[in-house]
Amino acid sequence: AQRVTQPEKLLSVFKGAPVELKCNYSYSGSPELFWYVQYSRQRLQLLLRHISRESIKGFTADLNKGETSFHLKKPFAQEEDSAMYYCALEFGDDKIIFGKGTRLHILP
């Protein structure tokens, strides 16, 4: 069955330190992967998607098909990065499923 796994419920990182939010997926076909972010008192919104290969707010994510991973990275954490982050997988007949989410807490 298709699955998205985010192993960390909470990740605390000091300001200026590197950030890596882990995401692994289970899908036998060609995956379409996304990261969504939910800042305090704001709507869930798209952060980035693997097909765009872009950097948004300093975040990047590379699809590793061999390891079935799509980890989110940022070299230097900022306080405004504190939020809830969700990895999502689109597959088959337009189903989009999410992982359980990781709360990122940036320490001053």
Q: Cα separations (Å) of 6 from 9, 15, 41, 62?
A: 7, 22, 22, 15
Three-state secondary structure call for residue 11:
strand
The residue among 54 and 79 lying less far from another protein, judged by its C-beta, is 54
Q: Cα separations (Å) of 5 from 33, 76, 80?
A: 12, 24, 25
Q: Which residue among 14, 64, 100, 107 contacts another protein (CB under 8 A)?
A: 100
**Binding to another protein by residue 35, rule CB under 8 A?**
no
As a 3-state breakdown, the chain gives helix, strand, coil percent values, each rounded to 5, of 5, 50, 45
Residues 67-96 that bind another protein (CB under 8 A): 86, 88, 90, 93-96
**Binding to another protein by residue 6, rule CB under 8 A?**
yes
Q: Residue 17 Cβ, how far from another protein at the closest point, in Å?
A: 25
**Binding to another protein by residue 31, rule CB under 8 A?**
no
CA nearest to 75, candidates 52, 53, 57, 58: 58
Could you tell me if 74 and 81 are in contact, meaning their C-beta atoms sit under 8 angstroms apart? Answer: yes
Q: Which residue among 46, 54, 57, 65 contacts another protein (CB under 8 A)?
A: 46
The residue among 67 and 93 lying less far from another protein, judged by its C-beta, is 93
Return residues touching another protein (CB under 8 A): 6, 9, 32, 34, 36, 43-46, 49, 51-52, 86, 88, 90, 93-101
